[in-house]
Structure 1
Amino acid sequence: MSFIWYILIGIVAGYLAGKIMRGGGFGLVINLLLGIIGGVVGGWVFSMFGISAIGLIGSLITATIGAVIVLWLASVFSKPRGD
């Protein structure tokens, strides 16, 4: 059951990250998928700094920060290169 919670938190985080990154999003579905990946990235980044999330709100904040990072990286690498 906890795996389902992680997915739901990642989806909400992807939605929030899409709102935070105005113009940097890729549409609702892709933002939600990147939010799930962002939850993992956020947990990894926070663990590098010795920070742990407590509870639902902490997990949501961690996943949202990770999703913003993932959306930002995706937007950097997906921009068309002008010749």
Structure 2
Amino acid sequence: MDLLIFLGIGAVAGWIAGNVMKGNGFGLIGNMVVGVVGAFVGKYLFGFFGFAFAGMIGTLMAAVSGAVILIFIIGLIKR
């Protein structure tokens, strides 16, 4: 059940990150997929540096951060 919630948060994070990173997005579905992957990236990176987020809002913040970073990196590679 926690995984489903995390996937949902990742999808929302991808949508938010796509709106933040205008011009580097991948469409609605693509941004949601990148958001789910970015959620895992964000959770890992913040955990690696010793930051822990509690609750859905904290998880969403980490997921959006990871998704923005991932969209930025993919945008650099696509050039």
Q: What is the TM-score when the length of structure 1 is the normalising length?
A: 0.92
**Separation in structure 1 between the aligned mates of residue 71 and residue 18 of structure 2, nearest angstrom:** 8
Runs of 4+ residues deviating >6 angstroms:
none
Q: Give the match for residue 51 of structure 1.
A: 51
**Max Rg structure:** 1
Residue 74 of structure 1, CA deviation: 0.8
Normalised to the residue count of structure 2, the TM-score between the two structures is 0.97
How many percent identity over aligned positions? 39
The structure whose residues are more often helix, as a share, is: 2
Aligned partners of 2:54, 2:65: CA distance in 1, in Å? 15
Q: Distance in 2 between matches of 1:48 and 1:59?
A: 15
Match of 1:4 in 2: 4
